[in-house]
Structure 1
Amino acid sequence: MVIYKKLSPFYNLALFYFIVSFLLRIVLFFHPITQSSFSILESLKIFSLGLISDFFVFIIASVFLWLYLIFISNSKYNKPSGYIILGFLAALFIYVASGKSILDEYGGALPRIVLIFIGIKMALFSLLLFLPTLRDEIRYWLFAFVMFLYVLLILQNGLSEYFFWNEFGVKYNFIAVNYLIYTNEVIGNIMQSYPVIPIFSGLFLVTGIVTYFILKGSKKYIDEIPTFNEKIKISGIYIVLFLISLVAIPAFAKTENSKNVFVNELQANGLYKFYLAFQNNKLDYFKFYKTLPSEKAYSLLKQQFPAISGENTHRIISSDSLENHKNVVLITIESYSAEFMKMYGNKQNITPFLDSLAQKSVQFTNLYAAGNRTVRGLEAVTLCLPPTAGESVVKREDNKNKFSTGSIFKDKGYNVKFMYGGDAFFDNMQDFYSGNGYEIIDKSSFTPEEITFSNVWGVCDEDMYNKAIKVMNTEAKENKPFFNHIMTVSNHRPFTYPNNKIDIPGDIKSRDGGVKYTDYALRKFFAMASKQPWFKNTMFVIVADHCASSAGKTQLPLDKYRIPAFIYNTDLKPTKYNQLMSQIDLMPTLFGLLHFSYESKFFGQDVLKPDYKPRAFIATYQDLGLIKDNILTILSPKQQVRQFQLNLETKEGVAPEYQIDYNEKCMKTERTDLVNETISFYQTASDMLKKKKYQK
């Protein structure tokens, strides 16, 4: 048989993919939201270069089809190879089913998914091994299923691109990536917004019909399975095209350079745009959110910072007291909600040490996390600016040489370090902190003797604190103050930690256990630190990175953003600060307590100053919120603005300053001043990052 006939599964699917992509471009070309006219040259560019891009993207996307096809054979079912392969699959199944595999360290549904996959693979292999007379028929239906799945995915992607364009007028961007993260909300929205049953019924019907015709033209591949030499030729052709595609796809993406945005979007391949969304991690505020004229936005910002001038936040912070260069240890605690603490109403006594330490500290009882992921918390305490749309600055390409808390300390002669018990490459922390002048201490810095317990996230908090004490003892001998930012890891799924430390065993994997062990490790850290000569000369700043959960009944549920925060030093008088504040205000407030004078670009403010105006920022990847005057204002893509009146729902037995539950009632009458103020904050922060005005 001629070799091209052996490639029939590829080119039949490719032809179908090109037809779907072409029809999709036609539909989007004439869609009402595509408010543009195109010249003949622009039209040719859209359809010709778009088709070429589709070809190369299909090559990459068909890698799983290639792997499936080249492993189709009869020889692997011969004795003894067939029994060896089946034995290996059975052993792998038992290993994963034991509950002690490496997959169980990740928790969640991953072990179950892998177990199901291996189980199905083992069952199908057994059928093909022990029922040789039915092997051809079983293989045909497996082949049909694979082709059905590819056809379904092609059609599903076409529909998704259409609905996404219908919403936003662009191909996939970071909002599409975000949709994968907030699966429950997205599925609920789809169920309520579209006639799902008719759509999917039609989708499966069309998929079945198309698969039938593709099978007719492709089944010769399994009727006459290619020889080993033919598979080598097929693989050679595919690998060459695959490598060319890796170069060609980004090259053709660079031709999307028209001044007409719709030309670029229609020419682009949606799947590649989706991939780029993962890489770029940001939403263009000015394209998707409500804006003000730049002059007005900065004019409103000046009302918050009277000392600024022009389109920036640069100002001089002056103190009338002598600067106090105490050491500073900032501890950001993983997933630590206010509701875990006794003062906020928790009755389980899972944070006894932090409950007691808070009473000896400067407490900030009404503080809100900027976001719902670790990188947002790190961004908030490091850069002290509102959470801009899309991914955190920590994970963006342009994340270096920013104006940061670390740069302030460096200017004051401090040693500056970021300490993390896991691999700092995770979430781009290594790139971000090293790019902003921090020295990194992470798991790779530990000797084997320094690690008593670790899981997938890194060493346990006790090991991290033991290491931190060693590092700080060394630093204290250098006659320079130190600033060390420690990020904890133990209060994270799978919630495993050393046994026999607390009354909740570490192998139970419970959230309460993770919280209680985190508290226990902090108590041990403070017990060790209190014996060191540098202890009394050190300010300890303790704050959560974000809450344990962000899901709620509303877009931005306030109770899911309330976090504990306090500053401890033996010389500080224990007090409570009960005014509304943001996570981005914590470090500027610390600088005030140290009487630092410095040039600032921070959006965060010293909340202890008399001119501070209470407000807080909370956000997801796409919803940007401002809390002020008991009103929550939310900016969303498509220039949407919503406002909610916040009504406190009092919890019995909890002091007023620790109440965290609010009913969010949608407002019918807009508070325009708060809308403009919200826009001002987020627009100017986005503008400064985009124009590189937030550099050191």
Structure 2
Amino acid sequence: MLTYLFPKRFSLLKAFVLLFISLSFLVRLTFFIWGFSEVDAHLGAIIKTFITGLFYDVGTLSIFMMPFLLYLFIFPKKWYGSLVDRAITWFGFFIAILIIYFSFFGEFTFWDEFQRRFNFIAVDYLIYTYEVVKNINESYPLPLLLGTLISLVALTLFISFKRKVFHATFKNETTFKQRAFATLPWVAICVFFSFFITNAQAEWSKNRYNNEISKAGIYSFFAAFRNNELAFSEFYSTMPETEAFANVKNQYLPFKVEFTHPNKNEIYRTVHTLDTTIVALKPNVIFICIESLSGKYLNSLGNDENITPVLDSLANHSLFFNNLYATGTRTVRGMEAITLSIPPTPGRSIVKRSNNTGLFTIGEVFKNQGYDRNFFYGGDGYFDNMNTFFGGNGFNIIDRGRGFLLDEAITVKRTNIEDDEVTFENAWGVCDEDIYNKVLKEADIAHESGKPFFDFVMTTSNHKPFTYPEGKIDIPSGTGRNGAVKYTDFAIGAFLKEAQKKPWFANTVFVIMSDHCASSAGKWELDVANYHIPAFIYNLQNKPPAKINTLCSQIDVFPTLFSTLGWNYESNLFGMDILKMRPQDERAFIGNYRKLGYLKDNKVMVLGDGETVNFYDWNALDNSLKNTTMDESFKKLAISNYQVADELYHNGGLQLKSLKE
């Protein structure tokens, strides 16, 4: 049979197939061993994991090798072995094996960071090659990796040549009929995978690790490239639009709100403070968005390693929200949740999408209260589209620019972090101390103007390669996450110590919150514990410190602050005042780019892109999910919030100009 599928003209193709299948098996086996403590290791699950993997490997091969397959099919027999044939074949084989070795190497680094096969994050990384390549170089021995890659390619070419695979490809009498017989099965498989198989079908297990190991990296990459934005209405369970909006609006009735257009499918409203004794305050607000700070790193949330002494101290001198969850797994998803105060929508973050400027954000609330708005980032804000998003929504930009200009339509001010302001820098930007020093400098200037300011500060030090200035803490730079967390904590302490010396400190509120956890990976559809993050509101003059146990989400922090300051304001935000939530109001939104979770009362509803709806009991003690009887009212609330969020984005309901009409 192999003779018919791989006649001599197809000898090199057969060698490539065997190489790809063997390497893919080794990668899959490595991931299985790597995650052995998390995978379902029963015999049946092991067999299904590897059989499913082989199925996707064959599908990947059918698509990946199609150009060379068609070349072998159509190239005339009389020109076998000609100079043109040899040049094309050698070059094509070289490129093919270079790609598969590179992709398999890339999968190891990606798995190390995310415990997943390639997804839309890998697609995004293709755009930001400077940061990614520099990060890889600082995190791994890049010369050794490149040397190994080149050596493997050279070795493969040498072995193929010595085993006379090229000779068999060029010196044969394979007929057109034989070539057609060998080509058609692969074409059929390619068509079948292209039209009838999705990457989601590899997710046969309740164990996320088994599902990820079952996939093929290259196939997953192109699946993510094709599906980085999913229309909720097409892929998820829905309900009548009017009913969904009514359900969402009803959530705000316990709060003192007035809908601008009560009969329209929108949530635009006026929010009135519930406490009429509060005199509206307008302090400066500095928001510190900490990169990848999971709640589990704080002693005040159960850790015992003492790597966050500053934040643990702040927990006793702030409004400390200890039951708060991030909406997603990436910085841009956290930025979306915080600025737009919106549940996550399927696919990539709105920060990365088109039509992401001129939106109603928390910045609009600050603007209407008379504030200047500034976005600080220690790297170049072109990364992940941050400058376009923040600049296009009215924030001045302060970043470490390398010459990338803002869109001509964006008229905000841009300030560079100059070389003489930098003491330490890695792939992702300047160290946290440097960005905070820039914040202090700009705050001094703003204070002189007499106008209140809102600063959104995005840190970078708690990110691989985990490097920071030496001598600041007792953990050497570049040795791991714990050191980066401790340096992050140290830098916040140093910043607050300097801020306390400033004349503007007494009239400044500091909001501190993580963008997402250090890792969202786990064995479940959504690993709830890996969305738990800390949040603080520090230096409020009208509220005593308190630990807030209310279940809530990133989207609720700034609506809570606005209420605490006694503001009446126009709102298009989903978030609610955490301090005024009744037990029945409590909920949190968690998700990744395909799974959308609604957490309430230790129960989790997970909406999937195959119109799946799974309902679980969540055991916080061992972070496990157990299927439970469907609750229809719970289901309606979950679907309503996500459906309305997606609808508002797609129909322009997040746009300022639409809301003002």
Q: What is the SS of the residue equivalent to 2:446? A: helix
Q: Which residue of 1 aligns with 2:366?
A: 409
Cα deviations by residue, 1:62-87 (Å, 9 ceiling, x for unpaired) = 9xxx99947979xxxxxxxxxxxxxx
Question: Match of 2:588, as an amino acid?
Answer: A
Whole-Å separation in 2 of the counterparts to 1:155 and 1:593 = 67
Distance 1:275 1:623, change over 3 A: closer
Say if 1:644 and 1:136 are closer, same or farther in 2 by CA, change over 3 A: closer
> Which 10-residue stretch deviates more, 443-452 or 455-464?
443-452
Tell me if structure 1 keeps the 8 A contact 2:465–2:478.
no
Instruction: Report the equivalent of 1:29.
Output: none
CA contact (8 A) 1:362 1:575 kept: yes
Q: Which residue of 1 aligns with 2:57?
A: none
What residue ranges of structure 2 are gaps of 5+ in the alignment?
1-8, 14-62, 72-83, 92-132, 172-181, 402-415, 657-661
Residue of structure 1 equivalent to 2:341: 384
Structure-1 separation of matches of 2:623 and 2:397? 40
1:316 maps onto 2:270 in alignment: yes
Q: After superposition, what is the alpha-carbon deviation per residue over 1:235-281, rounded to whole angstroms, capped at 9, x for unaligned?
A: xxxxxxxxxxxxxxxxxxxxxxxxxxxxxxxxxxx999858637xx3
Instruction: Give the counterpart of 1:666 among 611, 621, 627.
Output: 627
Partner of 2:599: 627
The alignment yields a C-alpha RMSD, in angstroms, of 3.8
Measured against aligned partners, the alpha-carbon deviations of 1:584-620 in whole angstroms (never above 9, x if no partner) come to 0011101111111111111111111255811100001
Report deviation, 1:105: 3.4
Give 1:187 shift. 3.9
Match of 2:433 among 459, 462, 468: 462
> What is the 5 A alignment of 1:277-288?
277=226, 281-288=228-235
**Following the alignment from structure 1 to structure 2, what is the Cα–Cα distance between the partners of residues 486 and 691?**
30
One-letter amino acid matched to 2:486: K
Distance 1:685 1:360, change over 3 A: same
**Equivalent residue letter for 1:491:** N
Change over 3 Å in CA distance of 1:663–1:414 after alignment to 2: same
| Residue 477 (1) aligns with residue 448 (2) | yes
Structure label with greater radius of gyration: 1
Over residues 417-462 of structure 1, what are the superposed CA-to-partner deviations in whole Å (9 max), with x where a residue is unaligned?
Answer: 1111111111111111111111111112122111111111111111
Structure-2 change in CA distance of 1:105 and 1:72 (3 Å): closer
The offset of 1:104, in angstroms, is: 4.7
Length-normalised TM-score, structure 2? 0.69
SS in 1 for 2:577: coil
Q: Which amino acid in structure 1 is aligned with residue 439 of structure 2? A: A
Give, in whole Å, the separation in 2 of the partners of 1:632 and 1:322: 39
Residue in structure 1 matched with residue 511 of structure 2 by the alignment: 541
Q: Deviations over 1:363-420 (max 9, x none)?
A: 1110000011111111111000100111110010121111101111112111101111
CA distance in 2: counterparts of 1:67 and 1:567, whole angstroms: 69
TM-score (norm 1): 0.66
> By how many angstroms is 1:185 displaced?
5.1
**What secondary structure sits across from 2:533 in the alignment?**
coil
Within 2, Cα distance between the matches of 1:551 and 1:396?
25
In structure 1, the residue matched to 2:636 is: 676
- In 1, the alpha carbon distance for the partners of 2:339 and 2:357 equals 12
Distance in 2 (alpha carbons) for counterparts of 1:465 and 1:312: 39
Secondary structure of 1:507's match? coil
Q: Secondary structure at the match of 2:139?
A: coil
Give the 3-state SS of the residue equivalent to 1:694 in structure 2: coil
How many percent of aligned residue pairs carry the same amino acid?
39
- The structure 2 residue matched to 1:568, chosen from 538, 551, 559, is 538
* Equivalent residue number for residue 443 of structure 1: 400
Alignment of 1:637-648 (within 5 A): 637-648=609-620
Structure 2: distance between partners of 1:107 and 1:272: 22
Task: Give the CA deviation at 1:302.
Answer: 2.3
The equivalent residue for 2:572 is 601
Q: Report 1:19-418 matches (<5 A).
A: 69=87, 104-107=136-139, 113-120=145-152, 159=189, 162-163=192-193, 165-166=195-196, 184=209, 186-189=211-214, 277=226, 281-306=228-253, 307-308=258-259, 309=262, 310-319=264-273, 320=276, 321-418=278-375
Amino acid in structure 1 at the alignment position of 2:383: F
| Paired AA for residue 488 in structure 2 | T
CA distance in structure 2 between the partners assigned to 1:692 and 1:598 by the alignment: 21
Partner of 2:75: none
Letter in 1 for 2:476: P
Q: Deviations over 1:103-139 (max 9, x none)?
A: 75352696654232122356689x79xxxxx899586
1:579 aligns with 2:536: no
Q: Is the 8 A contact 1:178 1:621 kept in 2?
A: no
**Which structure 1 residue ranges, 5 or more long, are not aligned?**
1-8, 14-53, 74-100, 129-133, 145-151, 192-269, 650-660
Tell me the distance in 2 between the aligned counterparts of 1:595 and 1:614.
22
Give the paired residue count: 503
Contact 2:208 2:525 in 1 (8 A): no
The ranges of structure 1 where at least 4 consecutive aligned residues each deviate by more than 6 angstroms after the TM superposition are: 70-73, 141-144, 152-158, 175-179, 270-273
1:188 Cα shift? 3.7
Q: Is the 8 A contact 1:368 1:562 kept in 2?
A: yes
